[in-house]
């Protein structure tokens, strides 16, 4: 069974390892999305967070283009490591619902 965050209007205040589905993320505002990425500590420093914020990424762009490492590196000008981590996060988010709908076991985090 997949566990995911059912957040629409606000990102969670702490990270518990649960992954939101794409259908949840697509309803997030830019600020909620930024808060989620910031909370995950994927970008790791204020400079990378500023680059992400300045790129003005909305939920649709995040889910549609965000699984491509080169989108983050070339279009958003983020360094390789955070670009890779963002692309992996988007791939995971996009696969949560697919795995669940196929009935496959898909677990993130530790038991």
What is the residue range of 58's domain? 22-102
What single-letter DSSP state applies at residue 75? I
Please indicate, yes or no, if residue 12 is contained in any of the structural domains: no
This prediction's pTM: 0.74
Structural domain tally of the chain?
A: 1
Phi, psi (rounded to 5 degrees) for 65: -100, -20
Q: What is the pLDDT of residue 106?
A: 45
Q: Which residue has the tokens 């496959």?
A: 104
Please indicate, yes or no, if residue 39 is contained in any of the structural domains: yes
With cut-offs at 50, 70 and 90, classify the pLDDT of residue 47. Answer: very high
Q: What is the pLDDT of residue 107?
A: 47
62-85 per-position pLDDT tens digit? 999 999 999 999 999 999 999 999
Please indicate, yes or no, if residue 13 is contained in any of the structural domains: no
32-45 per-position pLDDT tens digit? 999 999 998 999 99
Report the CATH number at residue 32.
Answer: 1.10.150
């Amino acid at each position: 069974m997949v566990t995911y965050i059912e957040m629409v209007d606000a990102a969670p205040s702490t990270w518990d390892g649960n992954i939101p589905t794409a259908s949840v993320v697509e309803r997030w505002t830019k600020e909620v999305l930024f808060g989620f990425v910031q909370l995950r500590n994927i970008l790791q420093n204020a400079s990378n967070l500023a680059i992400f914020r300045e790129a003005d990424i909305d939920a649709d762009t995040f889910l549609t283009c965000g699984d491509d490492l080169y989108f983050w590196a070339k279009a958003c000008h983020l360094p390789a490591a955070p670009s890779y981590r963002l692309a992996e996060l988007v791939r995971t988010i996009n696969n949560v619902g697919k795995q669940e709908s196929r009935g496959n076991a898909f677990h993130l985090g530790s038991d």
